[in-house]
Structure 1
Amino acid sequence: MTKEENEARLAKLKAIVSALPEKPGSYQYYDAEGTIIYVGKAKNLKNRVSSYFHTEVDRFKTKVLVSKIWDISYTVVNSEEDALLLENALIKKYNPRYNVLLKDGKTYPSICITKEYLPRIFPTRTINKKGGTYFGPYSHISSMQAVLELIKKLYHPRTCRLPITKEGIEQKKYQICLEYHLKNCGGPCVGKQSLQDYQKSIAQAREILKGNTRQVLTDMKDEMMRLADDLRFEEAEEIKRKYLLIEKFVATSEVVSHTINNVDVLSITNDEKIAFVNYIHVSNGQINQSFTFEYKKKLDETEEELLQLAIVEMRERFHSQAKEIILPQEIDLDIEGVTITVPQRGDKKKLLELSLMNGKQYKFDRLKQAEKLNPEQKQVRLMKELQDLLHLPKMPYQIECFDNSNISGSDAVAACVVFKKMKPAKSDYRKYNIKTVVGPDDYASMKEVVYRRYKRLIEEQQPLPDLIVADGGKGQMEVIRQAVQDELGIDIPIAGLAKNDKHRTNELLYGFPPRVIGIKDTSELFRVLTQLQDEVHRFAITFHRDKRSKRALHSELDDIKGIGPKTRDELLNGFKSVKRIREAELKTLENLIGHSKAQIVYQYFHQEE
């Protein structure tokens, strides 16, 4: 691989990483042949995956892994626990080359069930397959401990390391221990628990470690009912206790559901030109396949047509033999021996929602990735969205917004801010002192400023905006229309941003008479429009505050011709007030600021004399 090829590979991977969601999930790394070489889990996908590509990474194994990565995929889930379970399922299915720590078990522990006469169950980091059956390894120690704790509560396997044999039990070589008295062990070494009962408990524990809790629960329920029919209620109650413990353990994860087995789940996220179909396969209550396909539409295909295409393609690609397909809608497709389900509630509905969440996240990330590579794409998308929303004749490249500011009519000012390509163009901002309006009349002030603004642009032959936005509702929109259309005779689209009682922007208005335009207040476009309104309000308030401050600081000495700021400050520092300066003798003034300037000040205050 040449240096240029490697740089292109890293640039592609970093672009993918920059668009990853900050959500829990599992991520998969692929080599140049498209084979999964590593599966990991993360509480925050973006933070975890980006850590592999930091320049300060100095672990040799990590550097080797990164050098082999050519593509990255991921699956988002709802919790860190779900991410762990999904990671385990994918590792068991694909056995990735670089998940070496999980494969060799030298770092992560496994759970061992020994092949002894009375098998033991314990965690270990040493693998000796002649001595027992191993489950794992477990990268998440607390999860392994949770499984062991469940097995301990349910079945009380022995914890002693004695080499117990059938002959030894018959010869009564062993003594009862403290674990039996603490009810942590059934005492099979002294005949307190039968061999058949002990082996049955170990067999059920083995099924739980395999993930086959469904059959375990079914067998337990049958036994519980049989005991109840025989009026052996205490024994039935003990079985019920174990049943509820397993049920609670399984119910903690949405990814693992013992009620669902061997099903395909598909959902579709549609766009104008592209559709994203997410595929999830569930086997033995676990997700072991998740992938999102991108379909570029050419003939305006319907969602039903795209789902039909995706079902056939994905089942063939992943060799799925599932007898049930979960979909968001009914489709006309007959596959022999396969049932199509459109769930309305329950675990299958949750799986469908999980698939839809992955499809939407994939779409969002692709868009985000494309906009990072080409920032103007985002701006064009927002302009196009606003154009379609308001049915404008062209994309609103330049948007201008007006606002007034005054206190009871004093120091009345107005401001105009300009957004180009949906971003502030601060060099084009303008401030206006209100000249023709007396008193607090916002409508008249708005009309004056808008008229002055566009009359000057017309005279200077400057480009006019593609959209005018009023900081207000119907009244402000109407006075802008009067200035622009009636008096200047130009046609510029006019919109308004109205606020609610809490002074928060909540409505976009357009047209005459103005009507409310439906737009989600959580959308990116609405946030840009709110930013426009906040910006013009900030700019107008700042201008008004500055003007008011200058007037407040104005002194009568500033009106004396020939007296500058330096002399003014000397007089105020010496006499502390204008009144004392007015009453001062000429000689006193001369001692402070000199003869000539003292003459000017003295004559100003004694003109009548």
Structure 2
Amino acid sequence: MTTESPEEIRHKIEQRLPLLPDLPGCYLMKDASDKIIYVGKAKNLKNRVRSYFRGAHDTKTTKLVSEIHHFETIVTNSNKEALILEINLIQQYKPQYNIKLKEGSMYPYLKITNEKDPQLIITSQVLKDGGQYFGPFPNVQAATATQQLLHKIYPLRRCSKNEKRACFYYHLGQCIGCCDHPVSKDAYQKQINRIKRFFNGEVGPIKNDLKRKMEEAAEKLDFEQAADLRDQIEYIETTVERQTVMSQDYDNMDVFNYYYDKGWISIQAFMLRQGSILKRKAALFPSYGEKEPDNELTTYIARFYKEQNNVLPKAILVPPAVDQEVLEAIFEIPVQTPLRGKKKSMLDLCEKNAKLALDEKFRLIEASTRKTLGAIEELADALQIPQANYIEAFDHSHIQGVHTVSGMVVYQNGKPDRKNYRKFKIKSSEGANEFAHSQEVIRRRYTRLLKENKPLPDLILMDGGIIQVRAARDVLENELDLSIPVAGMVKNDKHKTASLLDGSKEKIVELNPRSQAFHFIQRVQEEVHRYAISYHRQIRAKNQVASILDTIPGVGPATRSKLLKHFKSLQKIKEADVENLRKLGITRPVAKRIIEFLNNPERV
């Protein structure tokens, strides 16, 4: 689970929002455990995703936004493809904030049935029944309007099979007429082919035919008919998009592509099933040495199936530079590079997503670098010191002066350098003596740096006010003869960053609460406090365990030390058995006494 504060999470999200593309696609909202909690689609990803973090929302949306830790996006070629992908992602991940889709989908499709006299019907399920599916449609109204249009233009059977004479729809020209006379298979196929072309975007012939009929109706003064035809033309122009026919074109194949720049490779993999994108996998990592990016992709694909236990598809689509022969020899399935058509379009879409992912990473790095460097430059200017590239910050933690510890965090060029963090257990003073605690930790830290001839920081930050700052300066200047700048991170009564105290002048430095320097001081103060208090909890827990062990007859300092060193916690000692304890050199009677004591339900 993440330990980031809500402010840090919001800051990371705000950094990403301007980098979103003005393109159609899907967005996946995730919580702190990386679980997908909501999936949505958008004609414009930037506008749609940004809307979640701007302005007021209803109760349900506010609850969703409060749980968003980060998000992902997948770019598609059209809003229609985004809709299909959204359906598949919801079915796959079942996010808690999405309306639960029933078996198949709540989104409607149009289907040409597989029977002697086929019909054009609306359905919410896509089955392997030989039928031909078109869609999905955003709602039932859109599916119904398209169905009614096709009934008028390219009618199939609209009546029941039990009709003994021409049905009502046949007289309206909306039934092919199998109720009146036998209709050949070829006649049905011609209509079906026209419907397919319609869904593939070939609407020109239909519009021309409708315009001709509209003009004829107007000439006959049949304005009602002309208005109906006009509405049909308008519907085609404004509503009917290029639909994806649910065919075998994309059936059971995986598509891989990459984008390489500045020593980094971004890889995207699309798993296509039943004519649409079922799942997306993404990887982004540095490409070291002389290894070519196409070789990196070849290795990634091999590992994708060998190590991740992904099921092999019927075929794999890759860019031309990939070693297809090697992959075919390994997996014994076709590995192809399409040069045109829908498959080539899908390969290009993979590359587009890979490029967008890598571009976003570079822009985030650039923005982060610009902000951190800007923050430490502002900080140095505010304190009137040459630079603040290397900073060490200190904080103390205790409860009423007991188990006092200090934590030190290090920042290099505005970023935490965690391998150089240090912990201090206060030895020389008791009680809540902040001045003495600060003196001890500063003395120990910088005496050691001088002794080891290691670099000294550009700035020392003390979590506190004038007491901590004066203590640090007293040791540095009067004992160690050092002139390192010292500043205090002052908190308000709500324990939040309030201001910065210049140690040399002992006066408050005014920082704009919205400035980069102020936010940087906030992050440093929160980090050093977290580090110090976590160490204090460890010490307190260890002492509590030691106190409990000391109450067991026969357990002395040596035995207690053995137990803590080996088991680390009271719970693990409690879960051990006598033989586990015997291996540490503890006698059987004492081992038995320890186990019985710790597992006694009456022990408080």
Larger Rg, first or second structure (1 or 2): 1
Q: Answer whether TM exceeds 0.5 for this pair.
A: no
Class of the TM-score when normalised by the shorter of the 2 chains: 0.3 to 0.5
Give the TM-score normalised by the residue count of structure 1.
0.44
Give the TM-score normalised by the residue count of structure 2.
0.45
